[in-house]
Amino acid sequence: MQTVRIAIIIVALVASAAGCRQTQEPIAAPPEEKAAVSQPAQDIVPSGRIAFTRLFGPLNRDREIWVLSPDGSGQTKLTGDPPRDFAPIWSPDGSKIAFVSRRDGNEEIYVMNADGTKQTRLTRNQAVDLVAAWSLDGSSILFTRRLGPSVAARQEIWAVDADGASEVKLTGHPAGDSTLAWSPDRSKIAFTSDRDGDREVYVMNSDGSGQVNITNNPAADDQNPAWWGPGRDN
């Protein structure tokens, strides 16, 4: 009987020791998550092409139109006529470029394909025509016509069909009208005029009607309007 008691005590001691060892074993830590390795951001290259005027020669009198990619690559000369070609403006769909050229003796409005082909004269007069902006659908081009050789000569605002078929005079006040800006939806035009004795900003409909002085500030000159707002080209 005593032998049985000793056996039971030994078993109990062994079990107790095993339990102590089990509780004292350290709990394994969960595997560490590997830190996410950030991938280098890819270079974002803006799309499209940029047209610009390159000046060279004595006193920078020679001017030609070039295009290039936004990263500076692919520089391509589009015009090569000896007189000045300058002030390029893209059509809304990017297929054509309107510009000013003196190749026929004075500044006239021209248009060409985006690759420089089919350079076509749109305006034909003895005044100085300076391109301003395309219509939203690309069917016409707004420009200012300066009625004299001096930069201070009176100016008027005109529109010409993109194929040169016809011209329309939008302003005809004896005072000067210039520095215009389309509304985002191309339904109206803001411009500068000094018809009230000082420079003011006016707004008119795209056909030239409804000309209204919106700054109406005789104490100062207001000019160079820039139109922003919700619209198809914003």
pLDDT tens digits, 4-32: 454 444 444 444 544 444 444 455 555 55
Query: What is the model's pLDDT at position 101?
Result: 96
What pTM does this model have? 0.75
Token pair, residue 155, equals 């100016």
- 18 Cβ partners below 8 Å, 6+ apart? none
Query: What is the model's pLDDT at position 231?
Result: 61
CB atoms within 10 A of CB 205: 14
Q: Within 13 Å and on the Cβ side, how many CA atoms surround 13?
A: 6
Residues 150 and 54 in one domain: yes
Number of domains the chain contains: 2
Is 60 within a domain?
yes
Residues 135 and 208 in one domain: no
Residues 95 and 195 in one domain: no
Residues 162 and 186 in one domain: no
**Long-range pairs for 201-206 at CB < 8 Å and ≥24 separation?**
201/225, 202/177, 204/170, 204/171, 206/135, 206/182
Residues 80 and 126 in one domain: yes
Q: Which domain holds residue 195?
A: 178-234
